[in-house]
Structure 1
């Protein structure tokens, strides 16, 4: 776990949250202000279009031109314009003579007075809009000419809306803009909190300086430790990658440089077990590895798995040799015990005066033992393998198992395998066979080591219950054994040697159970 300092600086997640909120608040505030300005401009444009449309519609009406040329234009136009004004919601509609004299107005007392505003462009036949402070205050107004049927200018029409009314209409739309801006700010806050929570989870709530320090230490430690280190995240998809692999782990697992796919890690190490695993033995094609697995949790949640890997290949080889030496010692002890018994028997025969029987007994035992030794030493080129077979015979006899080295046993030089590999291969097969055979009433084991069609063949049969193909496949894996409560490595080590040299390990039918190893015989590679 990462050591937390008291009084440390603000975490990365909180800094990002505050910066994100400040930026979003600024963007939303500026956006809201621009929306207000845009809404005000759009409102003014809409008013200009409205008053222009009203003024032009009224000016183009034949009744308007006819009323302007009548003796009393006000009596005809004032009621009509007031109805139109009330229906359209504008503040005033003024119909005037070309000399600015008003014929209509919202305030009747202003009728007959001169119109305040610009009319020059309208007198030239152009409809225009302007903002002008008239009798009702500042307003947006439109002024358009009125022509009779002969094309003569007979008057002008002006329609307008005061700024006060425009402001009231605009004020009604401002809350909508503010509501949308507030909603956007709330959504930004929620999304920022979610992002902050995710970043906090990914950075373990640490500050930037803590992350930098941890990375520097992490990088230095990864390259300096002597154990392999693999960190696997929670993602176990097909394309998932390993989070961290140090140099020693790449060497032990023969991993390439660069990103490492999860599929490159041996399947037995990818077990997603929530409980820690200590000192598990795993075998690759070249090495015997001891693996510790530790789940990593933060705030009660599983965030990954850490594997530490140690190379026990040399130690396993030494242990194998030690087992062989122990076997030889046990064999010598057994032989010494048997020799003492035979010697006492011979001495007693001599004392009883049965000299001829004593000589026959001694020479017969010596002849049988020496024949076996001579046969193996002549038939098997590797002395360590011959000694191993002799030792296993004595060990089997002591354990009540009848072990036979067949007459077909004969093996010349095997350049591709060294003495250690031969002892590992044959010794483990024979040990497993002796253990398995003891399940029968009359235990026996039969061993054959020979050359056949440019192949080294090791066949070990026993009186045991045998192994199914499925059981054999499991036995090739790490720590599997058919013996209850045991986690043997015998067949796994045999499988390792077989794979290394391109051979096969199969279970074949026999009188009982039989395992057969076939390894191509080829010249050893020259040292590079």
Structure 2
């Protein structure tokens, strides 16, 4: 059963692939819709430009002007029929209608409509007008332009138009190109998704997202513990060498005082952390970080409320959360331009409302830039120099671990303070 349930959890590589494929499909759909809209808009604009150009050109043509000005309707119809039809077919329009001043048709693609009244807007001010109107051929995009006599008076009108049905046909003719472009984008995106899956699988294998996060947390825990132990070992080595030198100089009292002071400081943290429900793993981490702070000339302070419960985190996650917060605080305090006495880091572990535990880490550093705010918890975002590897991972990992445990994390300035609130471990786990 456990194997079956595990098989149902998709690996991180599969999740990356599914996310990228979904994004590619959405982008492809958006591109298809945009190209369709663009083609439709382009076809309509083209129709408006062509109808306006033809209507304006014919209204100024000498043959049209003389036929309309003469006032002989049968003669005008006969002289204009072939001329207008040739212009219509040459321009690819659905109709060109020449009218007298009152809008009575002198030409029309349907001979039965000749002599009828024009269906559309005839501008009262004699201007050229482009509009969409439903006429004898259905809805159409049309332009009507006035015909002037030698004195400039309006003596007739020319209307040229393309039906909406023809525009739809033009759009349909462009659809294959649109579909091919969309499919090409989707295909390229799919290839990229497959390559991304292969690259992710080389790194994560068949691990799921939680396992990957746990692996990163484990790496961060080992890293921060390693740094802490190195600093502690270095400090203890220095103390031991100094004590040995004092013993060789027959200054036993000073050697004993030096070693006793180190023991008292370490025992104080151990007593605070292991009393009642404290976490010995975090205690070991704090001891190491104390040595690291001393190396960096940062004043170190740890306050542990003996009534604080242990957080409901396994040791790896606990070290990842506390260690990364302290590492960031030490880095920030080290940037402080003040003297050594002004550089400090304070760690406090105390009970919180609802039986939870609050871990607060403050420092004397310059603070979080106003333009970052809560973005410091995003992957790849960091206030530290960009030339150092691993930037933008620690706080994002802390947020992921805390949220997965059902806790919360906040950050404030003046001074910079990160506060993590976590559920307490069950009573059996605390006793164990």
TM-score scaled to structure 2, two decimals? 0.49
Query: Which structure is richer in relative contact order (CA contacts within 8 A, separation 6 or more)?
Result: 2
TM-score (ref. length: structure 1): 0.41
Which protein is richer in helix relative to its size?
A: 2
Higher strand share: 1
Larger-Rg structure:
1
